[in-house]
Structure 1
Amino acid sequence: MAKNTYKQDEILEEPFDIRHLLRASSYIKKYQKRMIIAILLSSLGGAFGYIAPMITQHALDVAIPDKNFRLLFSLVIALLALYTGSIIFVTIRSKIMVEVSQNIIYDIRKDLFEHLQKLPFQYYDDRPHGKILIRVVNYVNSVSDMLSNGLINIVLESFNLLFIVIFMFLVDVQLALVVLCGVPILTVFMIWIKNKQRKAWQAVSNKNSNLNAYLQENIVGARITQIFAREDENAQIFQDLSQDCRRTWNTAVRYSNLVWPGIDAISVCVRAAIFLFGLVIFGEGNKSLGTIVAISSYASFFWQPIMNLGNIFNNFINNIAYLERIFETMDEPVTVSDKENAKEMPTIRGEVTFDHVAFSYDETKKILKDVSFTVKPGESVALVGPTGAGKSTIVNLISRFYNVDSGRVLIDGQDISEVTIHSLRSQMGIMMQDSFIFSGTIGDNIRYGKLTASEDEIRKASRIVCADDFISRMPEGYDTEVRERGSMLSQGQKQLISFARTLLSDPSILILDEATSSIDVQTEKALQTGLNAMLQGRTSFIIAHRLSTIRGCDRIMYIDDGGIMETGSHEELMAKKGYYYKLYTAQLEEVHKTA
């Protein structure tokens, strides 16, 4: 999936590629028996319907002129039976295909979602989440209908067309040829309209994707919008995107609305020709009224499968592009994954080593250049430095959220690229600045990292990190339901819940990336006891904006210009009067000014 924004259309103009269809066949094979049954039922239902005009012809040419009411009554009963049977078969077929379609949706969406969960952070950093979402929801819905009903309808409409032509020729060869004379006219019309229609509906899809991307972004950033009073500007952007959707939709519908009138006009002309040729040109009295009515009925039927096949073709062209986008997402490389012979990470003691590590997010700038250090088990290390220096990058590499460009990251002497990701991360506790809260209860959010945790374990972890007091005051305590992203909680409360969640997982290595940034000073002081308990016996890496919180760390590393500029304890670095000294004293002066 190409890097994109809500301002840019996705290019969905793809040639028909049979490879995508062949790849999709794996989702169809599981349900091929049910699809064959559906085809047989539809064929029978269609055949019953096409026999009806022949019965009508017999009634008009034989039963009514001979006043044979017994035969007429029998023909009426036969018509009712045929129509009833047709309705029953089509209804059963529809039920089967609804189930097949939903099963295909489930299978594709499951595979797509499982793959999305394995993709690296970089994938989500580069793309609007709304455009990823539209692939999982809209595109899968559309493609599933093509893979189920679309393929079946191609077979059915082809059979229908064949049945109609056969029945027409059985009734009258000359009038059947009159009907077929309209096919070249229809072919030219359909080629012209379908090309316009396909491009128009692809434009609709593009604009809907853009709107979806902006809507998702705006909902997530609703608070920022109101903070900066951007409601009017954002409303104008949304209005412009909505107008694009409306404009492209109206254009597409305009072309679609031409199909029925165009085909109906050709159909009327053909039926008029049937009566003209039947009553005048082929000689008066040579064609019976029943024959003309029957052929006229078949002529009405004749155009429907042709139009349906045109719609199916158009649908296939659009959905092959969607299918390509779905497979493009599924084929997105999982750059951070287990190697073929990856082994389980043994119980971590906590020694962390960077061995000449280099890393960059893209080719334009190196974030880390030849970084080497070793942290002993149980040692607490603070990472400080200017914004963008690479502090978060270092802890992300320890967690193996990204692969290093060169060098190695080792834990207890084991290269972490050689072990399974699950066995590595399950022994690590990671607290980010953005404390994400899932919809559900507070207890479930704390239990997220250890599903087997008991109520007592949850409460104990919460008490250690000073979260128990405010949780207990909630209407339902730990069973209080919180909304998506924890909207009913303060940022500080969300961080305390995240602390409890991390502590409950009992990690061997603890990473705190600006984890106390949203907690007030008083709460942070109370939390310090809990933090000390969390750090006890664990190797820990702490990134904190407030330098006062990291004074007690065993070691402080000043990160800048792609490497470690200086390292030591707080006292040692203050005595050096280097980078850390300048940063710390500047922050102290700022505190005194605001005090």
Structure 2
Amino acid sequence: MSVQKEDEIIGKAYDSKLMKRLLTYIKPYRKYVFLAIFMNIVVAALPSLRPVLTKIAVDDKITNHDYNGLLLIIVALFGILIFQSIVQYFLTYFTELIGQKTIYDLRTQLFAHVQKLSLKYFDKVPIGRTVTRVTNDVDALNEMFSSGIVEIFSDLFMIIWILVFMFWMSWSLALITLAVFPILIFATFLFRRKVRETYRDVRKHLARLNSYMQEHITGMNVVQIFAKEKDELKRFSSINKDHKDANIRSIFYYAVFYPFVELLNSIAIGLIIWYGGGEVIQKHLSIGVLFAFIQFVEMFWRPVRDLSEKYNILQGAMAASERIFKLLDDNTFIENPAKPISLKNFKGEIEFKNVWFAYNPGEYVLKNISFKLKPGETVAIVGATGAGKTSIINILTRFYDIEKGSITIDGIDIKNFHEKELRKYIAVVLQDVFLFSGDVKTNINLGNENISEEKIIEAAKIVGADKFINQLPNKYNEEVKEKGATLSVGQRQLISFARALSYNPQILILDEATSSVDTETEKLIQNAIEKLLKGRTSIVIAHRLSTIQNADKILVMHKGELKEVGNHQELLAKKGIYYRLYQLQYKDQEKIKTN
């Protein structure tokens, strides 16, 4: 099912399987739920007592001029209001507590699950949609947990209490009151169907809106550099208009339904006054009962309206939970072995044996790749864009699993390691450095308490990052904005080197790590790289061939195949692909020098 279709899913208004699964999140807090239901029964009964006391006041006290008795009725009414307010306070507190606790658990589970998903999931699902699951969809469930499930009991019990008292006072008047009920049921059914349709449209357009916002804010520099603001605003306005129109259609049905309910309420009161008034005139009914019924009718329609609103909350929760559980059930994981192997004496020997790999089934980006790295060796991988260089890193770190062949470390297939065990030996420095909001220090150790401040400073000194860090106002405590916006590309790159070094990896991978920096910073980084590579098995991907001439071995990739293997001098002597790449770069450098 496509992601687009997934966002259009509306599901059932009530799905017992989904509800059963949702209720498992309430289970740890069931004592609060039972307490809230009990308080709901009490709160529902208290308003129903007011018309009963009104009847007693009119028929027994006012008619008999019993002013002391009337005063007691007034005190009782006042006491009921105070007691109802107190119970309502605790009820609101506990229902919100249930909602917040369950949503906290669910959101934590969702985020933990998203972190476990392999990169293949993120290749096919836009980030905006995943964010929508963890934010908007979870908020829809929050409404259900805090003011949906428990408060439905309140509305149902209130209706039951009112009906009990109405039939107890006068069954004939109660039946007259309920004469408009079939019309209400039909109107509610129609309203539910129309709202169901518009809700689907609202959710679909909201997902589109979130995805568009996330994508274009992330790529704002591209939008601005190509002066596409007006065009993008036009597209956004179109999506926003669709969302607005869908909401307006939803509002229209609410605007029709609620006044119609009020109209039925007025008709019911009119029927009570017509029939009940005649009964009072004929002395078949007391005036107090008539007053009580008018109050009952006004009270009766409020929970009916609330149940219609709860239906909307329930429908939203069902649709949201369907999408949330679809994400939680997504098993796009890297499969870990039942009994993973733990390396005790790590050496760092890496071997690829006849490796085939495809991001999409049948579309191989790596074809029959075989090579071996001895412990402490440095291998460089070169080739044109799309040759498969980065894919080698992706499968070595098990971001993706291979289709055929094997990859071993110290003679053990990496599929026999738990992915966390494997990755603790590997550090990767990418071309596009990602920095988190926080400070310089936490961007180096990533919040790892085992990496002390002394180790952080030492790592920064080795890679040369300490020079610019010490010039910052707060040094290692200097605030880093989102994505490191206040730092230069070179500074971000140096921090990423310090990050890799602070974890003291046995295997170091540099993916075009110097391609985005200036010549002066590159020299600084090259000096740091020499220190970093010592004693470590290293893989270096680079466009600039001048940076890899000292590599023990160079792998030349072309269209997913390993075409040449050797050191710098050996490959030049072959006068093959590497030689041509080197000649092209050498000529480009000569032109630059000449100019």
TM, length-normalised to structure 2 = 0.96
**How many angstroms does 1:450 deviate by?**
4.6
Give the match for residue 450 of structure 2.
Answer: 452
Length, aligned pairs only: 592
Question: Match of 1:12, as an amino acid?
Answer: I
Give the 3-state SS of the residue equivalent to 2:227 in structure 1: coil
Which one of 556, 559, 562 corresponds to residue 557 of structure 2? 559
Give the match for residue 172 of structure 1.
Answer: 170
Q: Could you say if the C-alpha distance between residues 449 and 513 of structure 1 is closer, same or farther in structure 2, counting changes exceeding 3 Å?
A: farther
Give the match for residue 153 of structure 2.
Answer: 155
Q: Could you say if the C-alpha distance between residues 420 and 390 of structure 1 is closer, same or farther in structure 2, counting changes exceeding 3 Å?
A: same
Give the 3-state SS of the residue equivalent to 1:234 in structure 2: helix
- Asked whether 1:522 is paired with 2:520, we answer yes
Q: Could you say if the C-alpha distance between residues 144 and 191 of structure 1 is closer, same or farther in structure 2, counting changes exceeding 3 Å?
A: same
Equivalences for residues 500-515 of structure 1 within 5 A: 500-515=498-513
Equivalences for residues 427-438 of structure 1 within 5 A: 427-438=425-436
**How many angstroms does 1:317 deviate by?**
2.3
Is contact 2:100-2:146 (8 Å) kept? Answer: no
**How many angstroms does 1:286 deviate by?**
2.5
Distance 1:326 1:503 in 2: 38
Which one of 309, 330, 333 corresponds to residue 332 of structure 1? 330
Give the 3-state SS of the residue equivalent to 1:292 in structure 2: helix
Give the match for residue 32 of structure 2.
Answer: 34
Distance 2:57 2:152 in 1: 33
Which one of 528, 533, 536 corresponds to residue 534 of structure 2? 536
Which one of 398, 401, 413 corresponds to residue 400 of structure 1? 398
Distance 2:435 2:333 in 1: 27
Equivalences for residues 147-226 of structure 1 within 5 A: 147-226=145-224
Is contact 2:510-2:541 (8 Å) kept? Answer: yes
Distance 1:285 1:366 in 2: 92
Is contact 1:509-1:540 (8 Å) kept? Answer: yes
Which one of 90, 100, 103 corresponds to residue 102 of structure 1? 100
Distance 1:57 1:106 in 2: 48
**How many angstroms does 1:134 deviate by?**
1.1
Give the 3-state SS of the residue equivalent to 1:559 in structure 2: strand
Identity of counterpart residues, as a percentage? Answer: 35
Give the 3-state SS of the residue equivalent to 1:542 in structure 2: strand
Is contact 1:198-1:318 (8 Å) kept? Answer: no
Is contact 1:449-1:504 (8 Å) kept? Answer: no
Give the match for residue 582 of structure 1.
Answer: 580
- Asked whether 1:345 is paired with 2:349, we answer no
Give the match for residue 110 of structure 2.
Answer: 112
Is contact 1:45-1:85 (8 Å) kept? Answer: no
Distance 2:572 2:150 in 1: 77
Per-residue displacement from partner, 1:153-179 (whole Å, max 9, x unpaired)?
232222211111000011111110001
- Asked whether 1:14 is paired with 2:11, we answer yes
Give the 3-state SS of the residue equivalent to 1:10 in structure 2: helix
- Asked whether 1:48 is paired with 2:11, we answer no
Distance 2:231 2:531 in 1: 49
Question: Match of 2:213, as an amino acid?
Answer: L
Higher mean Cα deviation, 104-113 or 37-46?
Answer: 37-46
Q: RMSD across aligned C-alpha pairs, in angstroms? A: 1.6
Distance 2:470 2:398 in 1: 36
Distance 2:46 2:159 in 1: 14
Per-residue displacement from partner, 1:394-453 (whole Å, max 9, x unpaired)?
011111111111211100001111112122111111111111111111111112275322
Distance 1:175 1:282 in 2: 12
Give the match for residue 483 of structure 1.
Answer: 481
Distance 2:42 2:199 in 1: 34
Q: Could you say if the C-alpha distance between residues 368 and 344 of structure 1 is closer, same or farther in structure 2, counting changes exceeding 3 Å?
A: same
Higher mean Cα deviation, 515-524 or 334-343?
Answer: 334-343
**How many angstroms does 1:478 deviate by?**
1.2
Per-residue displacement from partner, 1:266-325 (whole Å, max 9, x unpaired)?
010011011111123786343222111111111112222222223223322221111011
Distance 1:390 1:48 in 2: 73
Is contact 1:432-1:512 (8 Å) kept? Answer: yes
Give the match for residue 422 of structure 1.
Answer: 420
**How many angstroms does 1:47 deviate by?**
0.9
Is contact 2:140-2:316 (8 Å) kept? Answer: no
Per-residue displacement from partner, 1:504-538 (whole Å, max 9, x unpaired)?
11111100001111211122123222111101111
- Asked whether 1:360 is paired with 2:358, we answer yes
Question: Match of 1:270, as an amino acid?
Answer: A
Q: Could you say if the C-alpha distance between residues 436 and 314 of structure 1 is closer, same or farther in structure 2, counting changes exceeding 3 Å?
A: same
**How many angstroms does 1:572 deviate by?**
0.7
Q: Could you say if the C-alpha distance between residues 3 and 38 of structure 1 is closer, same or farther in structure 2, counting changes exceeding 3 Å?
A: closer
Is contact 1:345-1:424 (8 Å) kept? Answer: no
Distance 1:84 1:217 in 2: 53
Distance 1:234 1:305 in 2: 46
Give the 3-state SS of the residue equivalent to 1:30 in structure 2: helix
Distance 2:300 2:185 in 1: 13
Question: Match of 1:255, as an amino acid?
Answer: Y
Give the 3-state SS of the residue equivalent to 1:31 in structure 2: helix
**How many angstroms does 1:100 deviate by?**
0.9
Higher mean Cα deviation, 506-515 or 202-211?
Answer: 202-211
Is contact 2:116-2:333 (8 Å) kept? Answer: no
Give the 3-state SS of the residue equivalent to 2:538 in structure 1: strand
TM, length-normalised to structure 1 = 0.96
Question: Match of 2:50, as an amino acid?
Answer: A
**How many angstroms does 1:246 deviate by?**
1.2
Distance 1:163 1:345 in 2: 69
Question: Match of 2:11, as an amino acid?
Answer: E
Distance 1:443 1:342 in 2: 33
Is contact 1:271-1:299 (8 Å) kept? Answer: yes
Is contact 2:128-2:212 (8 Å) kept? Answer: yes
Question: Match of 1:394, as an amino acid?
Answer: I
Give the 3-state SS of the residue equivalent to 2:8 in structure 1: coil
Distance 1:431 1:355 in 2: 25
Is contact 1:450-1:504 (8 Å) kept? Answer: no
Give the match for residue 409 of structure 1.
Answer: 407
Distance 1:291 1:261 in 2: 27
Distance 2:455 2:56 in 1: 84
Which one of 440, 459, 462 corresponds to residue 460 of structure 2? 462
Distance 2:208 2:324 in 1: 17
Give the match for residue 306 of structure 1.
Answer: 304
Per-residue displacement from partner, 1:9-53 (whole Å, max 9, x unpaired)?
822221343211111221111111111111111211221110110
Give the 3-state SS of the residue equivalent to 2:501 in structure 1: helix
**How many angstroms does 1:473 deviate by?**
0.8
Distance 1:448 1:346 in 2: 25
Question: Match of 2:341, as an amino acid?
Answer: K
Distance 2:533 2:429 in 1: 13
Which one of 287, 290, 297 corresponds to residue 288 of structure 2? 290
Distance 1:477 1:562 in 2: 44
Give the match for residue 268 of structure 1.
Answer: 266
Is contact 1:449-1:502 (8 Å) kept? Answer: no
Higher mean Cα deviation, 275-284 or 136-145?
Answer: 275-284
Structure 1 runs not aligned, ≥5 long: none
Give the match for residue 63 of structure 1.
Answer: 61
Question: Match of 1:326, as an amino acid?
Answer: I
